[in-house]
A = this chain, B = another copy of it.
Amino acid sequence: MTTGSETAHTIVTAAILVIGDEILSGRTKDKNIGYIAEYCTAIGIDVREVRIVPDVEDEIITAVRALSERHDHVFSTGGIGPTHDDITADAMAKAFGVTIDHDPRAVAILTTHYGEANLNEARMRMARIPAGADLIDNPVSKAPGFTIRNVHVMAGVPVIMQAMLDAVTATISTGAKMLSATVPASMGEGRIAAGLGALQKDFPDVSIGSYPKMLDGGFATDIVLRSRDQSRLDLAVRAVEGLIASLLVQRS
């Protein structure tokens, strides 16, 4: 939820684009979305949207163009390896209307890593980088990612993606951090909903979310409050705590 008072803060937004048939088939369970989302929140980037698309060029192009236009940054994962189904780099070049070729910087990295004798044609595919892109360092397996426009193209293997995310976020400006607090309530959402709705109206600058969970066979609720203003967040937390206390008194 965005409110008028947020405009006093610098907001930096991002989208995540996950590329890969294996995620859509359910064979591989994605571990990157949650990691990137939590990481971005912690450093002051708001993830506003996520898409998962198959290894199909048109789908990648359509998605990355839409996300790139709407957000300050796009973090993509997957499809930059050496095999025939790794089509992300070429799709990104097409999406932004630039050429793609073996990049001398990437070739140098791969030559050092594999040695010239082992740098076969398939591995050389990993040196194909769209024109004008910056490389993203890969300390794990060397083949670099790249940044084209506002799109950061990273590997799909989590350990490599995480190292690339460290590298790329070190180079970009972040915004005001979204602060959050969680207030647990030992009751289902239905009991606290009316009071929370009223509090949300009192605190339009604090986003109040309600998340049910199973606890000891019954329902409990986590109330999550988020704001970029610490004092308003603290005030809202005390109000929610007061609401819960009053409901517990009513019950006893």
| Residues on A facing B (Cβ under 8 Å) | 1, 18, 21-30, 33-41, 46-56, 59, 81-86, 114, 118, 120-123, 125-126, 141, 157, 159, 178, 180, 189-194, 196-197, 200, 207-214, 219, 224, 226
Contact = CB atoms under 8 A, between A and B. Distances in A.
A85 to B, nearest CB: 5
A29 to B, nearest CB: 4
Nearest to A36: B26
Contact of A209 (B22, B35, B38, B209): B22
A219 B123 CA distance: 14
Given A83-B189, A83-B210, 6 more contacts: A21-B209, A24-B47, A26-B34, A27-B224, A28-B211, A122-B194
A37 B49 contact: no
B82 A193 contact: yes
A128 to B, nearest CB: 13
A192 B123 CA distance: 10
B25 A41 contact: yes
A197 to B, nearest CB: 4
Given A1-B56, A33-B52, A178 B25 contact: yes
Specify which of A23, A84, A200 lies most central, judged by the most chain B CB atoms within 10 Å of its CB: A84
Contacts of A81: 189, 193, 210, 212
Given A47-B26, A51-B50, A120-B190, A214 B85 contact: no
A1 B114 contact: no
Given A189-B81, A193-B125, A26 B40 contact: yes
Given A22-B211, A55-B1, A122-B189, A33 B34 contact: no
Contacts of A84: 193, 196-197, 200, 208, 210
Nearest to A14: B24
Nearest to A21: B209
A56 B49 CA distance: 11
B26 A38 contact: yes
B190 A82 contact: yes
